[in-house]
């Protein structure tokens, strides 16, 4: 991509600034897990930054770093990988406002997406997972208790993880603005 995903420009700000702002509207604290080499000096918004000292372990290790940094007084946690930064504010609002007390996810055309909101109990389950596990194991185990919030936001299920999907995002945004 030529630069870290978190610092990609979108709608006049970086992916990370966008998510910090959107989550800051709904959450009492915003925790960002970042690699040590990420230069956050250009960010316009502030959050609590924690470093994943072992990112080679995968996404679970980053999620566990972030969850461990969340205040123990938090009843629930709303989280999202930076890959989903284009998600619309209304989708985040609905997931947070319609939280069922256990697990709430947005759903676009029947596909589950991000952001995800989980109870303190699920936080503890995720923190207890061994390094060989996946967060999806806990989420799938609790799907019977989940609230799926139907949204009209394809960005909840589209992972911006390579240059082609990022170019497509920017092309769609340009067409939307002109239209």
Q: Which residues of the chain have pLDDT under 50?
A: 179
Statement: 5-178 belongs to CATH 3.90.550.10: yes
What DSSP designation does 129 have? -
pTM of the prediction? Answer: 0.92
- Beta bridge partners, 76, equal 119
Structure confidence at residue 178 (pLDDT): 58
Q: Which of 73, 52, 47, 81 is nearest to 64 (CA)?
A: 52
Structure confidence at residue 166 (pLDDT): 94
Structure confidence at residue 175 (pLDDT): 83
Domain regions of the chain by residue span: 5-178
Structure confidence at residue 59 (pLDDT): 87
Q: What is the pLDDT of residues 59-105, one digit of tens each?
A: 899 999 999 999 999 999 999 999 999 999 999 999 999 999 999 99
């Amino acid at each position: 991509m030529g630069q870290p995903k978190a610092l990609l420009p979108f709608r006049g700000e970086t992916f990370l600034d966008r998510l910090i702002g959107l989550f800051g509207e709904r959450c009492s604290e915003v925790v960002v897990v970042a690699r040590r080499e990420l230069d956050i000096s250009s960010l316009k918004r502030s959050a609590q930054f924690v470093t994943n000292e072992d990112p080679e372990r995968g996404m679970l290790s980053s999620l566990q770093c972030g969850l461990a940094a969340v205040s123990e007084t938090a009843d629930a946690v709303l989280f999202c990988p930076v890959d989903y930064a284009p998600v619309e504010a209304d989708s985040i609002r609905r997931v947070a406002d319609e939280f069922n007390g256990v697990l709430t996810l947005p759903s676009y055309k029947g596909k589950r997406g991000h952001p995800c909101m989980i109870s303190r109990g699920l936080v503890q389950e995720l923190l207890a997972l061994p390094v060989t596990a996946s967060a999806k194991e806990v989420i799938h185990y609790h799907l019977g208790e989940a609230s799926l919030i139907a949204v009209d936001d394809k960005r909840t299920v589209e992972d911006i993880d390579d240059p082609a999907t990022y170019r497509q995002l920017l092309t769609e945004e340009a067409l939307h603005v002109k239209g």
